[in-house]
Amino acid sequence: MDRLNDDALDVLFRKARTYNTWLPKPVPDELLRELYDVAKWGPTSANTCPARFVFLRSAAAKERLRPALAAGNVEKTMTAPVTVIIAYDLKFYEKLPKLFPHNPAMRDHFAKNPQLVEQTAKRNSSLQGAYLMLAARALGLDCGPMSGFDSAKVDEEFFAADKCEDCGEEFFPVGHVKSNFLCNIGYGDTSKLFPRSPRLDFKEACSLM
């Protein structure tokens, strides 16, 4: 295929909206696995893949998030079928022997440079969060990203030592994962959308040099 058709561009960008209200339609765990398996192919620098994704589906998990949410984000988050914490692992470089096997020196290059680690983790986990949103749209889901939350509270509640009771994941227990942003996922209620705000025109945002 040379390029996506207009319908696909509408689904991914032009008609895709940010949702605050959700239809009562669940998102199965299998679809979340498929979502990750699509989004994971988005590029990151040196294939570092620093993002970590925590899918909150149960009421109990959502309650753990509630105290960290800005007031305006509570209702939409509590009613969303899934809320994802898009986080980054500051020890992402420990995975580089697997992820970047053709250059074994890359692990130490990061391990010796905490500033580079932080910059790389933040930049690339943000990109991976965007890949996740586009993958969600491609799979027929809707998104509601949020930065209105207390990240220190989220990190303490979900990523501090001893917070991995049932998480079943290897990256939680040791406290080197930090939250970047949140994203509600589900099937959005189009009847509750606000009119769409404009975007910058080409000449306001771009230059051709």
Ligand X SMILES: Cc1cc2nc3c(=O)[nH]c(=O)nc-3n(C[C@H](O)[C@H](O)[C@H](O)COP(=O)(O)O)c2cc1C
| Of positions 44, 48, 73, 124, contacts ligand X by CB under 6 A | 73
User: Which of 106, 183 has the CB closer to ligand X?
Assistant: 183
Please report whether residue 79 would count as binding ligand X according to CB under 6 A: no
The SS3 assignment for 192 reads: helix
Please report whether residue 147 would count as binding ligand X according to CB under 6 A: yes
**Strand ranges (E), 4-127:** 51-56, 82-89
User: Which of 47, 126 has the CB closer to ligand X?
Assistant: 126
Please report whether residue 180 would count as binding ligand X according to CB under 6 A: no
Q: Distance of CA 6 to CAs 12, 39, 142, Å? A: 10, 21, 18
Residue given tokens 């994941």 in the structure block:
169
Please report whether residue 17 would count as binding ligand X according to CB under 6 A: yes
**Structure-token pair, residue 171:** 């990256």
Each residue 90-119 as x (binds ligand X by CB under 6 A) or -, in order, gives ------------------------------
Residue 15: which of 171, 193, 147 has the closest Cα?
193
Contacts of 138 (CB under 8 A, 6+ apart): 11, 12, 38
CB 97 to ligand X: min, Å: 32
Please report whether residue 22 would count as binding ligand X according to CB under 6 A: no
Distance CA 25, CA 188 (A): 9
Distance CA 83, CA 148 (A): 13
CB 132 to ligand X: min, Å: 12
Q: Which range touches ligand X (CB under 6 A), out of 4-12, 94-102, 144-152, 155-163?
A: 144-152
User: Which of 69, 106 has the CB closer to ligand X?
Assistant: 69
Please report whether residue 175 would count as binding ligand X according to CB under 6 A: no
The SS3 assignment for 184 reads: strand
Q: Distance of CA 141 to CAs 27, 28, 179, Å? A: 9, 11, 22
Would you say 77 and 69 are in contact if contact means Cβ atoms under 8 Å apart? yes
| Of positions 42, 148, 173, 175, contacts ligand X by CB under 6 A | 148
Q: How many residues does the chain have?
A: 209
Q: Which range touches ligand X (CB under 6 A), out of 22-30, 50-58, 113-121, 143-151?
A: 143-151
Q: Which range touches ligand X (CB under 6 A), out of 21-29, 52-60, 65-73, 160-168?
A: 65-73
Please report whether residue 145 would count as binding ligand X according to CB under 6 A: yes
